[in-house]
């Protein structure tokens, strides 16, 4: 089995690893195998007798091993720390930052991801070892700024796992503008949600992490969870969340909820999804759910933003949906209509959706009849102002607000709290 270090692949003589029960024997120079949920207290009294701790990662989506690495280092463990099992080269840098010295991989993985994959992913920032030997003191100021930014995200020593919270691993991050990004995380095997719902998420960067509501932007059948996020410069959560990288941990509460769900709407023929800004997030879930097209003959998704760049996430999702090998057949341009409007940049359609609904521009532009309460249904997600004004227009069309307990002909969800 190759051992991956910062300088490349190495081999070592076979070591005999033992379980934590070996601690009771009072021997020295121990080499221990531990599970990712091992309590640090079990090991801390014996740190001086341990040469090597090998932490097992059961799946590459399981972030508990990283957390254990950091907790061991923060508790004062100075011996070698090894990650073993399901890790990939993308996670190597993060493993080093968490305090691991090396990663043990299988021969098969070494063939798939040869040495240069891992070395390319080696850290630009000081690792735990470098910090210990105070190399970081000689780094330029820009590097220190980067470290300070990172440490705001990761003083996880304070975070103690919470019973109602899953710790998940970031698998992808995409930035669209200075104010918007999306990210994907691993999905807990027990986590269920209905397309359109939201969940509370946070970061493990404090004893009592800040949690915020987030719409689940991916469909309920996806293997991972996807989110689309604002970056509020001093926002308690998003000032840190906007810096997440692949391999980082995001906390997800165990229960999803919300009113933008099929269960809260009576059946109909056309479904109008009205959104502004990040309010598109629940709808990028709904338009990727085959059930939506079983229940409605046509779906009209509208998004209003200020600038063209702010439309990118929604445009990408619609394009992916139409190009998807299974969804493409049921969500073609005749079934899924996408209407975008901007309030600042030039665009074929400009102005607020309320204006375009009232003056009929929307219906002319998409070549459809105006809303008919007998057969049309609507979902709204945006600011309080947008919900109030668009909701009033829906009611003028004869729609009646519904909820999970009393389905109606339109439903609303706030995209954020002011």
Ligand X SMILES: Cc1cc2nc3c(=O)[nH]c(=O)nc-3n(C[C@H](O)[C@H](O)[C@H](O)COP(=O)(O)OP(=O)(O)OC[C@H]3O[C@@H](n4cnc5c(N)ncnc54)[C@H](O)[C@@H]3O)c2cc1C
CB of residue 205 vs ligand X: minimum separation in angstroms?
12
Q: How far is the CB of 266 from ligand X (least distance, A)?
A: 22
| 97, 104, 310, 413: which one binds ligand X (CB under 6 A) | 413
Closer residue to ligand X (CB): 49 or 414: 414
Smallest distance, Å, CB 290 to ligand X? Answer: 22
Kindly state the smallest distance separating residue 398's Cβ from ligand X, in Å: 26
Q: Residue 416, interface with ligand X (CB under 6 A)?
A: yes
Binding mask 359-398 for ligand X (x = CB under 6 A): ----------------------------------------
Restricting to residues 181-240, name those near ligand X by CB under 6 A.
Answer: 198, 210, 212-215, 228-230, 232, 235-238
C-beta of 94 vs 181, nearer to ligand X = 181
Task: Work out how close the CB of 285 gets to ligand X at its nearest, in angstroms, rounded to a whole number.
Answer: 10
Selected from 256, 281, 362, 411, the binder of ligand X by CB under 6 A is 281
Choose between 157 and 383: whose C-beta lies nearer to ligand X: 383
User: Mask 139-178, x = binds ligand X (CB under 6 A)?
Assistant: ----------------------------------------
Contact between 283 and ligand X per CB under 6 A: no
Site for ligand X in 248-277 (CB under 6 A): 277
Using the minimum distance from each CB to ligand X, give the nearer residue, 308 or 383.
383
Specify whether the CB–CB gap between 17 and 32 falls below 8 A: yes
Q: Which is nearer to ligand X, 278 or 340 (CB)?
A: 278
321 near ligand X (CB under 6 A): no
Nearer to ligand X, 193 or 214 (CB): 214
Enumerate residues 6+ apart whose C-beta is below 8 A from 21.
none
Pick the stretch among 95-103, 124-132, 307-315, 409-417 that binds ligand X (CB under 6 A). 409-417
Using an 8 Å Cβ cutoff, are 97 and 126 in contact?
A: no
- Closest residue by beta carbon to ligand X: 235
The answer to whether 110 contacts ligand X (rule: CB under 6 A) is no
Under 8 Å between Cβ of 271 and 299: yes
* Contacting residues toward ligand X, per CB under 6 A: 198, 210, 212-215, 228-230, 232, 235-238, 277-278, 281, 413-418
């Amino acid at each position: 089995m190759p051992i991956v270090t910062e300088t490349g692949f190495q081999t070592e003589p076979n070591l005999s690893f033992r379980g934590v029960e070996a601690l009771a024997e009072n021997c020295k120079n121990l080499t221990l195998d531990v599970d990712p949920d091992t309590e640090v207290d079990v090991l801390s009294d014996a740190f001086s007798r341990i040469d090597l701790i090998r932490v097992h990662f059961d799946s590459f989506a399981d972030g508990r091993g990283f957390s254990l690495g950091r907790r061991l280092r923060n508790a004062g463990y100075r011996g070698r720390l090894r990650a073993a099992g399901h890790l990939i080269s993308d996670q190597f840098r993060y493993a080093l930052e968490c305090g691991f010295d090396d990663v043990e991989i299988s021969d098969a993985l070494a063939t798939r991801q040869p040495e240069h994959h891992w070395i390319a992913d080696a850290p630009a920032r000081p690792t735990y070892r470098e910090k210990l030997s105070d190399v970081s003191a000689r780094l330029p100021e820009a590097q220190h700024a980067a470290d300070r930014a990172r440490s705001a995200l990761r003083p996880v020593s304070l975070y103690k796992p919470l019973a109602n919270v899953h710790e998940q691993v970031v698998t992808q991050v995409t930035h669209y503008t200075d104010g918007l990004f999306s990210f994907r995380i691993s999905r807990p095997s027990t986590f269920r949600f209905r397309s359109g719902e939201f969940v509370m998420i946070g970061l493990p960067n404090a004893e009592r992490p800040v949690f915020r509501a987030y719409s689940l932007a991916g469909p309920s059948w996806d293997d991972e969870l996807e989110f689309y996020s604002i970056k509020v410069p001093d926002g308690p959560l998003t000032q840190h969340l906007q810096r997440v990288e692949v391999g980082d941990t995001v906390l997800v509460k165990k229960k999803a909820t919300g009113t933008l769900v099929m269960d809260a709407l009576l059946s109909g023929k056309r479904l109008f999804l009205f959104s502004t800004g990040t309010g598109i997030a629940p709808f990028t879930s709904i338009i990727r759910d085959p059930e939506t097209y079983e229940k409605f003959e046509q779906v009209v998704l509208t998004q209003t933003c200020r600038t063209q760049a702010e439309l990118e996430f929604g445009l990408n999702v619609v394009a992916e949906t139409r190009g998807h090998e299974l969804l493409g057949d049921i969500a073609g341009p005749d079934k899924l209509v996408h209407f975008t409007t901007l309030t600042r940049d030039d665009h074929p359609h400009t102005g607020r959706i309320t204006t375009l609904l009232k003056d009929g521009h929307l219906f002319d532009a998409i070549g459809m009849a105006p809303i008919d309460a007998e057969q049309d249904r609507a979902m709204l997600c945006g600011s309080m102002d947008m919900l109030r004004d668009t909701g009033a227009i829906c009611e003028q069309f004869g729609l009646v607000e519904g909820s999970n307990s009393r389905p109606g002909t339109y439903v609303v969800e706030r995209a954020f709290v002011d």
